[in-house]
Structures are given as structure tokens and as C-alpha cells.
A = this chain, B = another copy of it.
Amino acid sequence: MNQPHRKPDFDIQQLRLSCRECSVHELCLPSSLRGDDLIRLSDLVGHSSYDPGQHIFNTGDVFQALYVVQSGSVKTSVTTRDGGLQILHFHLPGELIGLDGLAEHHHQCTAEPLEPSQVCRLPYRKIEQLANDIPALQKQLLRIVSREFFLDHQHILMMGGRPAIQRLALFIQTLSHRKRLLHEDHRNLTLSMSRVELANYLALATETVSRLLARLQRLGVLRLERHNLEIVDMERLVEISGDDLELVPYPH
């Protein structure tokens, strides 16, 4: 398991763009920062690439930084004593990872990319310093943490005693919604995770996921080949999902 390779040089222009869509850009780009300050910013954050199999951090690791997905996707998971695994979340670009480490200075979960991914590292020490300079940032930080509860609540809601097809439909819906927040095409999704991982996340058997995806395809709700998914009939999808979920993650 090799080390993540540091990107020695990167395009500030592109960074500025990608940061604009970031869920926590308040942390790195306080309104006071501009121009040359972006250089200072480049000093604050570290950008690394990770491949599947490399862990961004592991359960029990000392908490040192928060991470934001820049490109690709990352899964977080917890393991149980008996070797069981539960995936907690799939993180898309702009989404934050690592907050659960704040509590005990150790990470409570493991973060690992689903595909080659770029991740933005925000050393917590520096965030704290920055927050001391800019008091309003403290409030922001708290709000950002609080925001993460949405995700867990959605997950719990999704797992909560609904039929399998609803869970799957809900999942696809939230994925679509999150892509829309990134101003990307929300009808064409990429399921970067394996069926096994998706099944685990939804608390289903992989075979069930396969079958239900096939079913949704037969119903003309979506079209998929491999990991590319096109939502053909969004209304129907929402209908099947039970129109259940309050979709309010990461409101900008």
C-alpha cells in the first residue's frame, strides 16, 4: 500500500473553481480571502490522490485533519468486532469527511476511495488557528458539523423498515440530488461503488440489488449498463421511492 502521491504543483485557477462548489468552502475561502491570499490557502490545504485500497484514514487513527473530496468518490465505513462491515456513507466531490474524529481525537471510521480520487486535506490545527483569527468561522464550523447529521438521518430513514425497492429508489434519488447540487447532469449518474458495497449500504443482499436494478430497468424507470445509470423517468422513480425523503443536504 503505497503512499498517496503529492501533487507538487496545481492549478490555482482550477482549485478556485472546484472550491466554489465545495460544501465547506467557508473554511478555506472566508470572504476576506482573495487574490494573493489564495496562495496562503494553498499552503493550508494539501491535495492528494488516493487509489482504491489506499486508506485516507483508518478507524482509530489520530485525528489530524478533515478531508474534502475533490474528485472521485470516497466511502466511509465502520467494522464490528466480529469482522462485520457497515458502510456509512458515499462521499461525492465537495463533501466532507472526518468530522467524527473531533470527539475523541481518533477517527471512528475508515475512509477509502471507490476509485482514483483527489482529496483535499485541511489540517485541523490550521483550521483552529484560522478560526481564532475569524470568529465567525467558529460558528460556520459548528454549522458544518451539524449539517452532517442530515446525512446520517437520511441513511437511517432509508434503512428504516422500508421495502427494498424503496430504499434503492431513495438512494438513486439522493445521488441524483447531490449531483444537481454540484451543477452536474443529475439524470446520468455513476455508481462508483460495487454492488456489494451498495447492498451493504442499503442493508440488502447483493442479489437483491441486482434484481431490483433490473426491475427498475424493465419498468422503464432507468437505463443502466455497468456502472452508468441514466434516470429515464424521474417522476416514477420518486413515486416508487415513496416520495419520502426530505432532500435538504448541503443547502448553499
Contacts and interface: CB of A to CB of B under 8 A. Distances in A.
Interface of A: 78, 80-82, 84, 86, 88, 99-104, 108-109, 128, 131-132, 135, 138-139, 141-150, 152-153, 155-157, 159-161, 200, 203-205, 242-246, 248, 251
Nearest to A104: B251
Given A139-B128, A143-B102, A251-B104, A161 B88 contact: no
Given A243-B82, A244-B82, A204 B161 contact: yes
Contacts of A148: 149
23 contacts: A78-B157, A80-B245, A81-B243, A81-B244, A82-B242, A82-B244, A84-B242, A88-B156, A99-B149, A102-B143, A103-B146, A103-B147, A103-B149, A103-B150, A108-B149, A108-B150, A108-B153, A148-B149, A149-B152, A152-B152, A152-B153, A152-B155, A161-B204
A248 to B, nearest CB: 7
A153 B245 contact: no
Given A86-B156, A156-B159, A159-B160, A246 B78 contact: yes
Contacts of A243: 81-82
A55 to B, nearest CB: 18
B150 A156 contact: no
A142 B145 contact: yes
A200 B160 contact: yes
Contacts of A101: 146
A52 B150 CA distance: 26
A86 to B, nearest CB: 4
A146 B100 contact: yes
A18 to B, nearest CB: 23
A135 to B, nearest CB: 8
